[in-house]
Amino acid sequence: MSASPSVSVPGSAPGSAPRVGVWLIGARGSVATTVVAGCAALTADLHAPTGMVTETPLFAGSGLPPLASLVFGGHDTTDCPLPKRAEALAAAGVLPHGLPAAVTAELTATDREIKPGGPLPGDTRTPDELISAFTADLQDFVRRRGLTRAVVMNVASTEPAPTGTAPPPSSLYAAAALRAGCPYVNFTPSTGLDHPALASLAESADVPWAGRDGKTGQTLLRSVLGPMFAQRALTVRAWSGTNLLGGGDGAALADPAAAAAKNAGKERVVTDTLGTAPEGETHIDDVPALGDWKTAWDHIAFDGFLGTRMVLQTTWQGCDSALAAPLVLDLARLLARAHEAGLTGPLPELAFYFKDPTGEAPSALGEQYAALGRFAERLRRGARETTTTTAPGAPHGTPGGRS
């Protein structure tokens, strides 16, 4: 596969890294706001990149775009300005006190790049008309900001599974990403690219994509514990779980149809890693008072030597946006680099980040991390080839040949 063509970036100084767009679906939500504020904080050296795997030695020399080169925009159906949203998150303890004021300029700049999403109540546009409008917004963003490419990231609240043949909003945004020639990531359990109406478009698209449903808490722990029981030859009889969460996702997942998609991914990890389906179910409860914080309990009943009955109970308490944001930044950089290297189609090597990964991929976290390491080496080889084939005198970091 050939690498994407070089793009001249208007106004770029010699030696500067080409700019890469990150287009957020749900751009005024808690996760998106934390992503934008967090990236600005890291770029200004106000905080360490805790939680970002792409900032560990695993990805050294892989040619990932620098955080300072990322330019944010997106779609949303709400109109709360990002600086105000960030202030609310700081008041709730999600963002550090004082950070919104320190990165107001970056939040304001991103807010100007957020376009109305849809469909809104009363919107009479057809699905194809909506896709065309979203595609035009993306193309305008890339052209106007002089970007080499843009990665579309779905970080909106979970939508119910579709009941008819019409593609849901998440699929309209996914289709727009592919039509615009942009890599795509579905960080939610919503349908996105996995709708039958998008099958032919996905098959013919010349971009990479990954998803779905970011693995940030309970399922992350399950992907470690499941293999532990299997490898120690301990028989798991029952595995039950409960989640308490608030915020936009809590309200969305109060709908049983929306919660079903989320729970299916959580339970699939247990079944896949154990090799059998134990008794028990996973439940999600909306607790608005928790806001962006969540608590997850697991109760695991298992048998040991001579059938001795034992139990493992776990409690996971975390801030959803703070857990998700570094992964979103990782994925934006990884998809941008994959696109630059000419990779297309699903990227199962990124299963490390998802509950329900695209393509054939293991469910155990250790195996997923090993696959991620191999992907890092693949990008590293491509980065070396790009460096050696860059034309003399070309700006550093500009794609110069096949990866």
297 by DSSP, 3-state: which? strand
Phi-psi region of 393 (alpha: psi -120 to 50; beta: other; left: phi over 0): left
The letter for the amino acid at 17 is: A
DSSP label at residue 306? G
Give the distance, in angstroms, between the CA of residue 226 and the centroid of all CA atoms in the same chain.
23
Name the pairing type of β-strands 208-211 and 345-346: parallel
Q: Which residue stretches of the chain have pLDDT < 50?
A: 1-14, 389-403
Cβ-based neighbour number of residue 360 at 10 Å: 8
Beta bridge partners of 209: 184, 346
Sheet holding 282-286, edge to edge: 282-286, 235-245, 293-303, 309-319
Prediction pTM value:
0.88
Q: What is the C-alpha separation between 307 and 257, in angstroms, rounded?
A: 38
Round to whole Å and give the CA distance between 159 and 252: 7
Q: Which residue has the tokens 């199962």?
A: 348
State the pLDDT at residue 246: 82
Main-chain phi, psi angles of 170, to 5 degrees:
-60, -35
Pairing relationship of beta strands 235-245 and 293-303 according to DSSP bridges:
antiparallel
H-helix segments, 98-217: 99-102, 104-111, 127-144, 169-179, 199-204
* Distance in angstroms (rounded) separating the CA atoms of residues 374 and 390: 24
Reference 27, options 154, 178, 192, 133; nearest CA is 154
Cβ contact 259:249 at 8 Å: no
Query: What's residue 329's pLDDT?
Result: 98
Identify whether 125 is preceded by a cis peptide bond (ω within 30 of 0): no
CA-nearest of 355, 353, 367 to 267 is 355
pLDDT at 253: 62
Q: Which of 279, 249, 63 is nearest to 158 (CA)?
A: 249
Q: 186 forms bridges with which residues in the sheet?
A: 154, 211
DSSP category for residue 56: S
CA 267 to chain CA mean position, Å:
20
CA dihedral sign, ordered 17, 22, 23, 26: negative
CA distance 122 to 314: 46
CB under 8 Å to 303, separation ≥6 — which residues? 234, 235, 237, 309, 310
Return the pLDDT at 382. Answer: 81
List phi, psi (to 5°) of 10: -55, 130
Q: CA-CA distance, 116 to 76, in Å (whole number)?
A: 5
Task: Check residue 250 and give its pLDDT.
Answer: 65
pLDDT of residue 260: 66
If one counts every other C-beta atom within 10 angstroms of the C-beta of residue 4, the result is 19
| Residue 115 bridge partners (DSSP) | 75
DSSP letter assigned to residue 18: P
Under 8 Å between Cβ of 114 and 80: no
